[in-house]
Amino acid sequence: MFASADLKKWEKEGALIIPNARTGQQMPLNYSYWQDLMTNEEKYNVMEAAGSLQIPLLLIHGLEDKSVPVIHSEKLHDECWHALMVKMDDADHTFNTPHPAPAKLSKQTVELLTNTLDFILD
């Protein structure tokens, strides 16, 4: 996730500025976040946690998501053999519904909610 970050600069300046891909807002991420990740690397191992998960897992990922590449969900799916993976065509990071949500949700958000409800009720 931070492969392209200049760690020395991040430490010196105290924060890494990450632009929000959707809004363009400049989001500061304190260096203490990186320190916590490194100190607790084993605790925060998402792939290991997915592999040991003993409850049902639903992964729904929009194929037009510019914030989180679908490969991340695919890797989680590979680690959690019983997970259900749904890839949604023409859906972005927010399933095509802006924030705050309008009165009429996008068809992708409706599909997301329907899949989620069906998963919970099964």
Cβ distance 82 to 56 under 8 Å? yes
CA angle 50, 93, 71 (to 5 degrees): 45
Q: Which amino acid is at 110?
A: V
**Predicted model pTM:** 0.78
Per-residue pLDDT tens, the chain, 122 aa: give them: 777 889 999 999 999 998 887 778 999 999 999 999 999 999 999 999 999 999 999 999 999 998 899 999 999 999 998 999 999 999 999 999 988 889 999 999 999 999 999 999 98
Indicate the domain borders of the chain.
Answer: 7-39, 46-121
Compute the residue count for the chain: 122
Beta strand extents in the chain (DSSP E only): 15-19, 26-30, 58-62, 84-88
DSSP code for 84? E
CATH (residue range 46-121): 3.40.50.1820
